[in-house]
Amino acid sequence: MGFFDRIGQVWKGFLSLWVGEIENKNPEAVYEAAIDERVKKHRELKKAVSGIVYLRNKLQAELEQKTKELAEIELQIPIAVEDGEDEVAVILIEKKDELNTAIATISGELEKISGQAEDAKQGLVQFQAEIEKLKREKVEMLAKKANAEARIKIQETLDGLSTDADIKALENVRETIHKKAAEADVAGEVRGEGLDAKLAKIKTKTANASARAQLAEMKKASASRQAEAGKKTI
């Protein structure tokens, strides 16, 4: 193989890969092209079948005409013999023999053509069925492709979703809540240790001491009265 032949082979290889890539990306176009090609072949086959059917019909009509002529001649021959028309009778007999030969030939050709016509018609019907089948396959395969692409897209979307963001958001919320709670605790603690709180405690203790002092004075006065009363009794 020469240099240019090798270059040609390499180019064909690249072209095949390029065409294959295009076909993979646009399967609908591939199906449409295949269907269109089969429809074209179907038209050509139909034309050929119509030619065979036409020839069959022509032979059939010719056979019927020859058969009719033969029947008429077979009726004429006895009359010519009875009338003593020997020359006419001979001509009619020769015509009869020619018709028999022609009928035999036509019958053989008609049988062959009829078989070809039936095979051709059956092939035409089968070819049409293949086209319809390919059309259904196109719809099914494209639907399957769309379904697969949708499932892949959904899976990619699910794969792209991460729970890290949700977890981080929850952690931030929890941390914020804990900080708020701590802030409230600090406010309470500061309020308890503040100057106002201490003054309030002192006031409370002062009020308590005054009451206790008054209670002691009252007890002391009561005891004194009880003592005086005892002395008078004696």
Residues 45-93: pLDDT tens digits? 888 889 889 999 999 999 999 999 999 999 999 998 998 888 988 999 9
Torsion angle, alpha carbons of 57, 59, 64, 67, to 10: -170
Provide the terminal-to-terminal Cα distance of the chain, rounded to the nearest Å. Answer: 158
Nearest Cα neighbor of 120 from 184, 61, 37, 46 is 46
**Overall fold of domain 3-161:** Helix Hairpins (1.10.287)
Residues 129-168: pLDDT tens digits? 998 998 999 989 888 888 888 888 888 777 665 556 667 7
For the chain, give every domain's residue range. Answer: 3-161, 167-233
Over residues 186-201, the mean pLDDT reads 60
Q: What is the mean pLDDT of the chain?
A: 79
- What is the reported pLDDT for 178? 79
CA distance 231 to 233: 5
